[in-house]
């Protein structure tokens, strides 16, 4: 078995990092990387969806306001 010190191990990990990240993205198991910025219309629609989801959760009692800056959100 080959012995390595920590600096050699760190260098080896750093040299392989790009290849591993590319392989993960290619396989689709990693986090999706967004390549283009969202346009204003898309941001507006996403904001509206989030606000509606939050208000629905409030009506269903899934959100409890513990104080002014802290709340509890019950996930399904």
What is the pTM for the complete model shown? 0.51
Where in the sequence is the domain holding 68, given as residue range(s)? 36-76
Interval 26-76: pLDDT, tens: 776 656 677 889 999 999 999 999 999 999 999 999 999 999 899 898 876
Residues 44 and 72 in one domain: yes
Rounded to an integer, the average pLDDT of 3-21 is 83
Question: What is the token pair recorded at 58?
Answer: 């409030």
Are 41 and 76 part of one and the same domain? yes
Plot region of 29 (φ>0 → left; ψ -120 to 50 → alpha; else → beta)? alpha
Looking at per-residue pLDDT, the higher value among 12 and 52 belongs to 52
> Is the same domain home to 46 and 67?
yes
CA distances from 29 to 13, 24, 32 (A): 20, 6, 9
Average pLDDT over residues 2-9: 83
Number of separate domains in the chain = 2
pLDDT of residue 31: 62
Give every CB contact of residue 30 below 8 A, 6+ residues apart in sequence. 21, 24
């Amino acid at each position: 078995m080959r012995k390595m010190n920590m600096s050699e191990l760190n260098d080896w990990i750093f040299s392989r990092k790009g290849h591993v990240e590319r392989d993960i993205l290619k396989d689709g198991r990693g986090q999706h990387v967004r390549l283009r910025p969202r346009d204003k219309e898309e941001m507006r629609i996403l904001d509206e969806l989030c606000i509606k989801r939050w208000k629905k959760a409030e009506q269903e009692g899934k959100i409890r306001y513990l104080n002014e800056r802290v709340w509890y959100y019950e996930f399904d």
